Structure 1
């Protein structure tokens, strides 16, 4: 299991970005976190390395390009389709969850409301061997 991670996270909510920064700082791993305020910023960063992300966390409801559009662009690109994308959203709407899975998301997490659960969900994503992980109906949604 690797101990160095480059994480890209796109979310239009400044409080959520700050919370994500605080949680990743508390995790006992070397994490380089790059936050983006919208989907367009994230796509520009992905297309202009360095750095390149090991994993992308993506909010769904953002102005401009929303998470669905960003996910679709990433997963339809030969160059970026193998980057794991974790949907990190307040929505637990089954239609949204199903749609993100169909678009190629690797995991879906409803944003936890406590620091400990938030940390546990991020640690879980970092423990996954994405080279062999196959999202199924049984393991696509992560609940803390």
Structure 2
């Protein structure tokens, strides 16, 4: 089975730990890398030797450069524009969801507090075909709910 390269951009230590533990329990061949702010994310993605992830989980509220700013920069950069981006945020505000949809995120996930729900949602997000999924995006199928 092909190794799935996942990148998590999140400044919260507990959220990164929770996320990593959930991934470990999925029966998928996953390689996880993480960064703690938006500046580190963009620098990481722009390194010439970086293997781009199959899926980026992007927190909205990070220091130095927020998730929306990162998403806009990713979509404006030729070799990053097709990167699959899952917004992974505590926010369920309509304005945040709409802004992420407008700026080209593939999916929006509200961070669950329940570990089993997190595992379920991560499995679904990782195994979905994002290129197909993004072709018919609407607000109804953009927000991932388990």
TM-score, normalising length from structure 1? 0.95
- Give the distance between the partners of 2:3 and 2:126, measured in 1 at CA: 10
Confirm or deny that 1:111 pairs with 2:111: yes
Structure 1 residue 28: deviation in Å?
A: 0.5
- Give the distance between the partners of 2:57 and 2:51, measured in 1 at CA: 15
Q: Kindly indicate whether the alpha-carbon contact (under 8 Å) linking 1:56 and 1:84 is maintained by their aligned counterparts in 2.
A: yes
- Give the distance between the partners of 2:11 and 2:3, measured in 1 at CA: 26
- Give the distance between the partners of 2:98 and 2:69, measured in 1 at CA: 15
For residues 49-107 of structure 1, the C-alpha deviation after alignment (integer angstroms, 9 at most, x for no partner) is 33211110000011110001000000111110101100000000000000011010000
- Which residue pairs with 1:143 in the alignment? 145
Structure 1 residue 132: deviation in Å?
A: 1.5
Confirm or deny that 1:55 pairs with 2:70: no
Q: Kindly indicate whether the alpha-carbon contact (under 8 Å) linking 2:101 and 2:139 is maintained by their aligned counterparts in 1.
A: no
- Give the distance between the partners of 1:35 and 1:55, measured in 2 at CA: 12
Q: Which has the higher helix share?
A: 2
- SS of the aligned residue for 1:43 comes to helix
Confirm or deny that 1:100 pairs with 2:100: yes
- Which residue pairs with 2:124 in the alignment? 124
Q: Write the mapping of 1:7-26 to structure 2, written as runs, cut at 5 A.
A: 7-26=6-25
- Which residue pairs with 1:40 in the alignment? 39
- SS of the aligned residue for 1:60 comes to coil
Q: Kindly indicate whether the alpha-carbon contact (under 8 Å) linking 1:5 and 1:30 is maintained by their aligned counterparts in 2.
A: yes
Q: Kindly indicate whether the alpha-carbon contact (under 8 Å) linking 1:8 and 1:42 is maintained by their aligned counterparts in 2.
A: no
- Give the distance between the partners of 2:90 and 2:131, measured in 1 at CA: 27
Structure 1 alignment gaps of length 5 or more: none
Structure 1 residue 3: deviation in Å?
A: 4.3
Number of residues of Structure 1 aligned to a counterpart in Structure 2: 143
- SS of the aligned residue for 1:139 comes to helix
TM-score, normalising length from structure 2? 0.93
